[in-house]
Structure 1
Amino acid sequence: MVQRNDKVTALNENIMNQERKKQERAHRRKKGLYRRLVVFGVLVVIMFTVMISTLTSQSTVIAEKKEERQKVEKRLEEVKQEKSQLSEEVNKLQDPDYIGEVARRDYNMSKPGETIFKLPKKKEESR
């Protein structure tokens, strides 16, 4: 029976070693899984951080561009209005009567036989 007992002990040790190795492999796999999950999580956090910072900077740039566009559109309206006034002035300057009126008013010129009277300007009444 002694021999039998040695075989049983050896068999139990082999089974125990196999079971221990199996548990160690499972433990190593779990550790590897946790490490991969942590690395993946860190990468996801980094990607979201980059995406959020990009979106905020783009929204800031868009807001600045909208403000700049409004200013440019306002300036465009002013230039169009000025162009309209200048075109009207050019058309008026084509008229000889208007040129005569400007000459009389600004340069104190008169037509032959015309007398110029300069009247004092009326002051507006204050309320």
Structure 2
Amino acid sequence: MKAEARKLYNPQREEMNKPSRNQFPQAHIPQTHKRKTIRIHRITLMILYVSLIIGSVMYMFSQNKIVSAKQRELSKLQVEQKKLTKTEKDLNRQVRLLNDPDYIGNYARGEYMFSKKGETIIIVPKPKEDNN
């Protein structure tokens, strides 16, 4: 048994039984190839993530520009709408007044010097202003 025990625990035999890298390079190649492919996949995924982040940031900035341009256009249109609403109110007021016969008579007398029956129109000249 002692001889068998020596054979089992002989450190020189264990080293002889271990394959060295020079003897079996095929055992080492798949591991390095696997590491390289994993590294390539990681780098590819990182590039993909970074490009997605950059793309989304660029998209957000472009959308922000579009939104601000639309807001400026909206404010301009709101101002124009207020002006047009005021003009519409003035025109509606004028239409109501022009449908009133008393207003038409007063307007014709004031602007075109029409007179009622029995009235005499007297024109008073405006005084001249001296710049002295």
TM-score (normalised: structure 1): 0.75
Listed as ranges, the gaps of 5+ residues in structure 2 are 1-12
Partner residue of 1:118? 123
- Report the CA distance between 1:35 and its aligned residue: 0.7
Which residue of the other structure, out of 68, 74, 95, is the alignment partner of 2:73?
68
Pick closer, same or farther for the CA change 1:64–1:119 going to 2, 3 Å. Answer: farther
Q: CA offsets per residue over residues 6-38 of structure 1, 9 Å max, x none? A: xx6xx8376225775444332222211111111
Q: Distance in 1 between matches of 2:120 and 2:16?
A: 139
SS at match of 1:15: coil
How many residues are matched?
116
Backbone CA RMSD of aligned residues: 2.8
Q: Distance in 2 between matches of 1:88 and 1:105?
A: 19
Q: Distance in 2 between matches of 1:63 and 1:121?
A: 56
Listed as ranges, the gaps of 5+ residues in structure 1 are 1-7
Query: Identity, % of aligned pairs?
Result: 26
Q: Distance in 2 between matches of 1:119 and 1:25?
A: 116
Q: Distance in 1 between matches of 2:20 and 2:118?
A: 136
Deviates more, 1:70-79 or 1:107-116: 107-116
Residue 106 of structure 2 aligns with an amino acid whose one-letter code is E
**Larger helix share, 1 or 2:** 1
